[in-house]
């Protein structure tokens, strides 16, 4: 047995420092809780992001790739997604995947919380949009939101902190096409600064915002929530890999075991544990933390830990626009969106819907290897495409299925011997019909905008950015893992606050909703769980 170093007990251990973990750490520390946030990745030097390097495109496909199996960094763990129709994408560092996101931040619609009531599928959430609204607003203040009020597809909102990012000529062209079609569109809400905000610079429109930001114009939780959390007294321990959540004979959690950067075993006792490891890492840890009081896995009396995995189903189309002002200037994904097809329309042949998110052209290397056919016409096709393409991504709602799941791989392990997650996922017929509809409508819009060629993507495999549903919330302990406050039914001092707690996935990027859920859960602890404070 390894020699274990024991630390002084704290009120709360937060496992994970990404979108949700950092927000909860900040809120709890601000209220006087003694908090330790454990993160298995390192602090990231923002001056070394790929956008600062001449070979930035090579880095985005190697050491800065979205897929951990490609990166194979010291902080990464392998994911067995061979049996999944969508590959799992995530990033391990202080700040989590907010280091690696594009920071496009639409909110869920009120209908997303009432899918069973409205459409007879999935389940309703035990909370509503209005329960989360003040926490959406609080999160926008902390992260800094560039946008504009008045979107007719969404409820009225408080003013954003900054005006929207410029649409650019490509965004303006697409917006006019939507207008001619009579379709909804609106400038993207972005956690990317359109002007200096809270000591962070404005975006300089360099483009590859998805691979970090040396100016810190893109909000990541290592530069927003965590510095303030530390000022309030929280401790962030980087390069700390949790390998089990420990429970006592009464089933309540007592702390966590983890390995430090040198591989030494550590024990951190606490009055409460908050899991914020994303929709793959959290069920992996819960299943690996089986004990005498939780024989099927931590807080898994329902048998639902790891089940109901949702990504978002993705497809889309790109148009080639001749004599175009180069369309790679500006954040790659924060332009405009359309929610014309977001709500259910029975005439379409599927339930729920999708969002169009506009994207810009990629760099020269990505263009050359990203679909341009090799052979005699390669150079001419490259010239036609490079800097001249705009795309519409279809972000489709992904309904929960218990057969889409995360379990523990019996053979594959990380460097500490922790089993890798085994991901099994398939698209259902509703998703296939939804994506087919989205691709047809994307073609219509691109042709209306003046595209001379449209290149369709029927279904994207490398689209597993959004990890949701694997420890869902609900009122019935037999049909859920946590309650509406993210408190585990089986252990009242365990909380799950990341996308695992989602009941449904909506048709938009989930991060602002993840952060609002986390802030609401932390607020509940601060108001109602004084028993957890020493």
Q: What pLDDT, in 10s, does the model give residues 166-222? A: 999 999 999 999 999 999 999 999 999 999 999 999 999 888 888 888 899 999 999
Instruction: Note the pLDDT tens digit of each residue in 227-245.
Output: 999 999 999 999 999 999 9
Higher pLDDT, 323 or 54: 54
CA distance readout (Å), 67 to 86, 100, 395: 11, 11, 19
* Mean per-residue pLDDT of the chain: 95
Q: Specify whether the CB–CB gap between 474 and 501 falls below 8 A.
A: no
Say what the pLDDT of residue 50 is: 87
Kind and range of the H or E element at 27? helix 19-30
Model confidence over 284-300: pLDDT tens digits? 999 999 999 999 999 99
Per-residue pLDDT tens digits for 325-383: 766 678 888 899 999 999 999 999 999 999 999 998 888 888 888 778 888 889 888 88
Portion of the chain with pLDDT greater than 90, in percent: 84
Residue pair 178/132 in contact (Cβ under 8 Å)? The answer is: no
pLDDT at residue 324, rounded to an integer: 66
Q: What is the mean pLDDT of residues 493-506?
A: 98
Q: Which helix (H) or strand (E) holds 420?
A: strand 419-425
Render 453-491 in DSSP notation, one character per residue.
Answer: EEEEES--SS-BT--B-TT-B-S-TTS-SB-TTSBBSS-
SS (H, E, C) 150-187: CCCCCCCCCCCCECCCCCHHHHHHHHHHHHHHCCCCEE
- pLDDT of amino acid 371: 78
Provide the 10 A C-beta neighbour count for residue 273. Answer: 29
**With 60 as the cut, is the pLDDT of residue 403 above it?**
yes
For 259-274, write each residue's pLDDT tens digit: 999 999 999 999 999 9
* pLDDT (0 to 100) of residue 337: 97
Which of the four pLDDT bands, split at 50, 70 and 90, describes residue 51? Answer: confident
In the prediction, which pLDDT does 80 show? 97
Determine the pLDDT at residue 328.
66
pLDDT of residue 364: 83
- pLDDT tens per residue, range 433-454: 999 999 999 999 999 999 999 9
Cβ–Cβ under 8 Å, residues 509 and 395:
yes
Give the distance, in angstroms, between the CA of residue 394 and the centroid of all CA atoms in the same chain: 16
- Look at residue 534 in the predicted model and tell me its pLDDT: 84
- Per-residue pLDDT, 45: 92
| φ/ψ bin of 514: left (φ > 0), alpha (ψ from -120 to 50), beta (otherwise) | alpha
Q: Are 184 and 152 in contact (CB under 8 A)?
A: yes
Are 86 and 311 a contacting pair, CB within 8 Å?
Answer: yes
Per DSSP, helices labelled H in 327-407 are: 364-369, 378-385
Domains in the chain (CATH in brackets) are 4-532 (3.50.50.60)
* Per-residue pLDDT at 327: 62
Residue 501 makes CB contacts below 8 A (sequence gap 6+) with 471, 472, 473, 481, 482, 486, 517
pLDDT of 1 strictly over 70: no
* Mean pLDDT across 506-528: 98
**With pLDDT > 70 as the criterion, what percentage of the chain qualifies?**
99
Confidence of residue 224 (pLDDT cuts 50, 70, 90): very high
Checking if the pLDDT of 136 tops 70, the result is yes
Rg of the chain's alpha carbons, rounded to an integer?
Answer: 22
pLDDT tens, position by position, 64-107: 999 999 999 999 999 999 999 999 999 999 999 999 999 999 99
Separation between Cα atoms, residue 1 and residue 401, nearest integer Å: 40
């Amino acid at each position: 047995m390894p020699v274990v170093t024991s630390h002084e007990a704290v009120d709360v251990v937060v496992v994970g420092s990404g979108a949700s973990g950092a927000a909860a750490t900040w809120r709890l520390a601000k209220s006087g809780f003694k908090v330790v946030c454990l993160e298995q990745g390192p602090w990231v030097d923002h001056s070394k992001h790929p956008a600062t390097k001449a070979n930035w495109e090579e880095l985005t496909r190697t050491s800065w790739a979205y897929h951990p199996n490609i990166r194979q960094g010291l902080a990464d763990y392998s994911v067995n997604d061979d049996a999944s129709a969508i590959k799992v994408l995530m990033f391990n560092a202080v700040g989590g995947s907010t280091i690696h996101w594009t920071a496009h931040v639409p909110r869920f619609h009120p209908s997303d919380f009432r899918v069973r009531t409205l459409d007879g599928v999935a389940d309703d959430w035990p909370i509503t949009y209005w329960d989360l609204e003040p926490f959406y607003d609080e999160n926008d203040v902390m992260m800094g939101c560039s946008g504009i009020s008045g979107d007719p597809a969404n409820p009225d909102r408080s003013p954003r902190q900054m005006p929207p990012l410029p649409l650019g000529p490509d965004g303006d062209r697409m917006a006019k096409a939507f207008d001619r079609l009579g379709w909804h569109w609106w400038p993207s809400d972005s956690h990317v600064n359109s002007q200096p905000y809270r000591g962070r610079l404005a975006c300089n429109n360099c483009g590859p915002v998805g691979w970090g930001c040396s100016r810190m114009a893109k909000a990541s939780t290592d530069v927003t929530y965590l510095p303030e959390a530390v000022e309030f007294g929280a401790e962030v321990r980087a390069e700390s890999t949790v390998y089990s959540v420990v429970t006592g004979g009464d089933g309540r959690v007592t702390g966590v075991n983890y390995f430090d950067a040198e591989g030494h075993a550590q024990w951190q006792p606490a009055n409460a544990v908050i899991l914020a490891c994303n929709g793959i890492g959290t069920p992996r840890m819960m299943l690996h933390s089986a004990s005498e009081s939780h024989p099927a896995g931590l807080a898994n009396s329902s048998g639902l830990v790891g089940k109901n995995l949702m990504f978002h189903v993705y497809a889309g189309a790109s148009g080639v626009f001749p004599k175009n002002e180069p369309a790679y200037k500006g954040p790659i994904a924060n332009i405009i969106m359309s929610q014309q097809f977001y709500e259910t329309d029975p005439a379409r042949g599927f339930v729920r819907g999708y969002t169009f998110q506009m994207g810009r052209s990629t760099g020269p290397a990505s263009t050359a290897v990203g679909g341009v056919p090799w052979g005699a016409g390669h150079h001419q096709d490259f010239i036609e495409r490079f800097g001249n393409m705009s795309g519409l991504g279809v972000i489709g709602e992904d309904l929960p299925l218990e057969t889409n799941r995360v379990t523990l791989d019996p053979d594959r392990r990380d460097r500490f011997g922790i089993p890798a997650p085994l991901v099994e996922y398939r698209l259902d017929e509703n998703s296939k019909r939804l994506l087919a509809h989205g691709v047809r409508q994307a073609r219509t819009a691109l042709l209306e905008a003046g595209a001379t060629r449209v290149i369709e993507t029927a279904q994207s495999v490398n689209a597993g950015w959004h990890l949701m549903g694997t420890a869902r919330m609900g009122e019935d302990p037999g049909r859920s893992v946590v309650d509406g406050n993210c408190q585990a039914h089986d252990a009242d001092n365990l909380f799950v606050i990341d996308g695992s707690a989602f009941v449904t996935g909506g048709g938009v990027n989930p991060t602002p909703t993840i952060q609002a859920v986390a802030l609401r859960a932390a607020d509940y602890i601060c108001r109602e769980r004084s028993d957890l404070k020493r």
